[in-house]
Amino acid sequence: MKHLLSAGDLSRDEALTVLDTAVRMDEALAGREVKKLPTLRGRTVVNLFFEDSTRTRISFELAAKRLSADVVTFSAKGSSVSKGESLKDTALTLEAMGADAVVCRHAMSGAPHRLAGWVRGSVLNAGDGTHEHPTQALLDAYTMRRRLGRVDGLRVAIVGDVLHSRVARSNVLLLHTLGAEVTLVAPPTLLPVGVAEWPAAVSYDLDATLPKADVVMMLRVQRERMGQAYFPSEREYSRRYGLDRHRMGLLPDDAIVMHPGPMNRGMEIAAEVADDPRRSTIVEQVSNGVSVRMAVLYLLLGGAQ
């Protein structure tokens, strides 16, 4: 594997190798006072973030640093991109500087794929438009496996703004590969065209889905990508598709609640659900993200050495 552009590119074996490697990364760091492995010493990882990000950017940065790579983080604001430099020129600049891996987040679906054609190093998609976010899907699968012991056979409900969610698309692809059964739950206006071809069931009824779910993954309502009204009001959205304490009670006893962050507390998820110590995995997802990204960087960069 040279690049990680889509969760759909991963075979079952490759995906399991990433998850197993993430476990090994956790174990290797657990015994150390200094949280650093020498694995990628001398390699250069460039984080190229053309779109706002907190968790993903910091997570990739930390992952690369824990593997002792040299890390350069480049945000579009304050760079020549704000002067109109094209993605291609930025790529050629990175290439001239000898980046071994480029981690790319971009508002345009497909940008990391284009990048992969222009640079010699590995390209990791850290979220492209409404298209994909493969490392998020991997860290979500890793979290499910840690909490519930497996991914195969799990019933996963993905709820909310599926239309704008690269997290949903990548999760559907990866979870299908790993043998989980996915149900997308959303108002019809927030489902993408062609969703019938996705390897997932569709429901408009959250209350009917929850009692049969081992995992419920809530999605952020992505107002910044909405030019028009997709639902009558926030209150109405919350009433039908928000996860509050009452609804959480419909879940089977050991089901977990996930959210990729950032959350709109009180909209798609109630604060008391997000903070529920037994069911909510939201904070664990963030820590697991670092281990999974270390695993991906290691496999893409270290493996071939």
Closest residue to ligand NCD, based on beta-carbon distance: 220
Pairing of strands 101-106, 181-185: unpaired
Strand partners, 4: 124
Nearer to ligand NCD, 39 or 291 (CB): 291
Among the options 39, 56, 90, 130, which is catalytic? 56
Residue 105 annotated among the catalytic residues of the structure:
yes
Choose the catalytic residue: 55, 146, 176, 240: 55
CB 89 to ligand NCD: min, Å: 25
Nearest to 159 by CA among 208, 79, 219: 219
Residue 46 is inside which H or E element, if any? Answer: strand 44-49
* Token representation of residue 218: 């809530």
Asked about 56 being catalytic, the answer comes back as yes
Task: Give the footprint of ligand NCD on this chain (CB under 6 A).
Answer: 55-56, 127, 133, 136, 166-167, 220, 222, 260-261
Smallest gap from Cβ 166 to ligand NCD, in A, equals 5
Of the residues 66, 106, 131, 133, which is catalytic? 133
Q: Is 259 a known active-site residue?
A: no
**Nearer to ligand NCD among residue 44 and residue 280 (C-beta):** 280
Active-site residue, 55 included? yes
Active site residue 177: no
Contacts of residue 115, Cβ cutoff 8 Å, sequence gap at least 6 = 48, 87, 91, 102, 104, 123
- Non-local (6+) Cβ contacts of 263 within 8 A are 218, 220, 269, 274, 282
Catalytic residue among 43, 57, 66, 105: 105
* Residues belonging to the active site: 55-56, 83, 105, 133
